[in-house]
Amino acid sequence: MFMEDFLFNNEFAGKHIVVIGANCEIGRLTAESLLDFGAKVSVVDIDPALSEWSNQKSKIYSCHILDVNEELDLEKLVQDLGPSVSGLIYLPRARNHPSLSELTEENFLDDMRIGLLGAILVSRALFTLMSKNRIHDPFILLVSSVLSRMVSSNESVGYHIAKAGIEHLARYLASEFGIHGIRVNAISPGWLVKDQHKEFFYSEENSDYRHSVELTHLLNPIGSIEDIVDAMLFLSSKRSKFITGQTINVDGGLGIKEPGSMLLGKNRHATK
9 pLDDT band, cuts 50/70/90, is low
List of domains in the chain: 2-194+223-257 (3.40.50.720)
- Residue 33 and residue 233: Cα distance in Å, rounded? 8
Can you tell me the mean pLDDT for 4-23? 81
**How would you list the strands of the sheet with 16-20, edge to edge?**
62-65, 40-45, 16-20, 87-90, 139-143, 183-189, 247-250
Structure-model confidence comparison of residues 96 and 268, the more confident one: 96
User: Which of 24-33, 192-201, 219-228 is predicted with the least confidence, judged by mean pLDDT?
Assistant: 192-201
pLDDT at residue number 1: 35
Phi-psi region of 184 (alpha: psi -120 to 50; beta: other; left: phi over 0): beta
* Predicted local confidence at residue 267, as pLDDT: 45
SS3 75: helix
Task: Give start and end residues of each alpha helix (H) in 42-117.
Answer: 49-55, 71-81, 105-112
Asked whether the predicted pLDDT for residue 119 surpasses 80, the reply is: yes
pLDDT of 201 strictly over 60: yes
**In whole angstroms, what is the distance from residue 272 CA to residue 252 CA?**
23
